[in-house]
Amino acid sequence: MTKTVLITGTSSGIGKETALRFQKRGWNVVATMRSPQNATDILNLERVLCLRLDVTDIDSITAAIEQAIAKFKKIDVLVNNAGYGLAGAFEASSSEQVQRQFATNVLGLMDVTRCILPHFRQQKSGVIVNVASVGGRVAFPLLSLYHSTKWAVEGFSESLQHELKPLNIRVKIIEPGPIKTDFYDRSLDLITKPELTAYDQIANTVLPNMNKLGKTGYPASLVAETIYKASTDNSRRLRYPVGGAEALLFLRKLLPDGLFTAFIEKIMLAKS
């Protein structure tokens, strides 16, 4: 029987590449996004069902899962990919921006997971793949809110694997490094507060370096292949670093905090 994957945030970048990867491997793909009518390049592909799903709208989550099961009878893998980054000085952020960042990257991911678990329990199997980031285990300047959400996803996933193991439901964490996607453009929300100028010097250095990392990063297809591997390797492996994350995480493990902090500052605070 053909297997089915449901992926959130497939309008572009990693989500879109993942949908294409599973489709080419013969899977049924439920490609979800906030505006599926715009997904013209995957809308008419064989075995692909494009559905509206906004992770901050619980009704759209339950409706998409119900439609997916009605169409393909079952879902074998959930890929929680939807998310975005909020960059800038924490002091300049508003409570609304903080709430939106967590509502999308953490609470939305949790809601999608909670909604699909009854289906996975009933069929006594399932794989949950949470796309976190290397930024879920290391931190860079001006990304305190984004990092907070990805560290939350790491902790949530690591704990969740224990309670789902007896139910034959596996949890995976994908940890991409810098990837060439629109994360650094369309998906990056900049915190601005013109009257607060104390952080201008660090912002004027860090943000261009961040954009440079995005332009020279690894292809999204590499992450998509890692997601496919994690979904199909039948292992209990939890973490899958990819796209330069392996080396950075090795250094984080090897170096004491002071040296690692100096290393990050050298990368992010260096003048172009």
Active site residues: 146
**C-alpha of 4 from chain center:** 19
CA separation for the pair 272, 117 (Å, rounded): 47
Name the helix (H) or strand (E) containing 209: helix 200-215
- Residue from 36, 169, 32 nearest 114 by CA: 169
8 Å CB contact between 119 and 65: yes
51 SS3 class: strand
Amino acid 175 reads E
- The structure tokens listed for 116 are 């699909």
- Residue from 77, 71, 32, 74 nearest 52 by CA: 32
Amino acid 23 reads Q
Amino acid 98 reads V
- The structure tokens listed for 203 are 């912002």
Spatial CB neighbours of 103, under 8 Å, sequence gap ≥ 6? 56
- The structure tokens listed for 7 are 């992926």
